[in-house]
Structure 1
């Protein structure tokens, strides 16, 4: 039997070989977000992306399964803290999503590491199972982000 109570926080720390301004922009620029977001096998159509990176602003997009375009996963987050090139904090209400929420929060910290960026991502609450799936999804997405930043 899998755990369904959402109490676990996902924490991922990753170093990107790019200045933090570029990594931050990859999360806030709609063109760039569409180019990398979503695990391998999923994409984000540019026309679905709308980002207003300010306190009270939003980040909206829809992930679409590459093999079955009828399989979608919309995201609609609200920013509650924004410090350009340093911090993005927001939440998304995810009512009716087993193993998540009911309010999913996310904190992205962008730290300068001598021309590279140490990103610290905190997201939750998740059930144990959803935390693992989210970790896999983020790591897959970050592989795509590495490729974008290398251009």
Structure 2
């Protein structure tokens, strides 16, 4: 079960309480010593320490009628876990190649065979492949093929659940295997999708969400409904992907995380497979 971090966020929301935590990182201190270093009255300091104590961030011992406070480092670990998960989710959609500078509302960005634009709350990405429609569709509809190209360059995907039917679940993990990507190396990013509609060789509709290893959807990040269409064109296939969000803010959040760049990198990997 996800741990409730609200008390920790509340306790750390005040600048003075953050300064107290920083002091206690180095040594245990009395109320008077903390108040003197931060130039805050002792009554006000006691109130701030009480908030930190109630949140479990500090402990207190009494020595010669004086209260000495110490930092509870164990209580900060859930924040480290939360930060790591957030970084992993960001990495999932972040660009590794800097393919685009930005996505312009109702403006097309054309780069070779890929373009992207925004329609209302929907992000549209189009790319052509020099391959038959059935082959491109198959790359999206079988676990073995998805594991060969899904995820940005430098990331490896493992499919843990794949039920390719309406109502079926697709649960997968992407792991950064590229040491050149610095802090992202070794990081995991989990995703979970539910298939809504499947028209063989023509269309796939599904919801897409950030999740954890147990398949619990992250409520702090957007959920989108994706419609992938596969269209015959001379000498190949036109792939059209529409990601619909609940509001413009959610769309912009994902775009700012590098959705277009990350997806462009994925499709480049797919092209190397189906167009050869």
Q: Distance in 2 between matches of 1:123 and 1:13?
A: 12
Of residues 110, 118, 122, the one that matches 2:242 is 122
Alignment correspondent of 2:122: 9
Alignment correspondent of 1:33: 146
- Structure in which a larger fraction of residues adopt strand: 1
Of residues 125, 142, 145, the one that matches 2:267 is 142
Of residues 133, 137, 153, the one that matches 1:20 is 133
Alignment correspondent of 1:96: 220
1:84 is aligned to 2:194:
no
Q: Distance in 2 between matches of 1:80 and 1:144?
A: 26
Q: Deviation of residue 115 (structure 1)?
A: 4.4
Q: Distance in 1 between matches of 2:253 and 2:163?
A: 31
Q: Choose between structure 1 and 2 for higher RCO, CA contacts under 8 A separated by at least 6 residues.
A: 1
When structure 1 is superposed on structure 2, of 73-82 and 85-94 the one drifting more is: 85-94
Q: Deviation of residue 50 (structure 1)?
A: 3.0
Which secondary structure state, in structure 2, belongs to the residue aligned with residue 75 of structure 1? strand
Alignment correspondent of 2:164: 53
Alignment correspondent of 1:4: none
- Structure in which a larger fraction of residues adopt helix: 2
Q: Distance in 1 between matches of 2:170 and 2:136?
A: 16
Runs of 4+ in 1 over 6 A off after TM superposition: none
Q: Distance in 1 between matches of 2:141 and 2:161?
A: 9
Q: Distance in 2 between matches of 1:124 and 1:42?
A: 25
Which secondary structure state, in structure 2, belongs to the residue aligned with residue 130 of structure 1? helix
Q: Deviation of residue 150 (structure 1)?
A: 2.9
Structure 1 unaligned segments of length 5 or more: list them: 1-6
Aligned residues: 138
Q: Deviation of residue 127 (structure 1)?
A: 3.5
Q: Distance in 1 between matches of 2:133 and 2:160?
A: 22
Pairwise CA RMSD: 1.8
Q: Using structure 1 for the length normalisation, give the TM-score.
A: 0.83
Q: Distance in 2 between matches of 1:124 and 1:64?
A: 26
Alignment correspondent of 2:189: 73
Q: Using structure 2 for the length normalisation, give the TM-score.
A: 0.47
Q: Distance in 1 between matches of 2:135 and 2:126?
A: 17
Q: Deviation of residue 9 (structure 1)?
A: 2.2
Is the Cα–Cα contact under 8 Å of residues 8 and 128 in structure 1 kept in the other structure? Answer: no
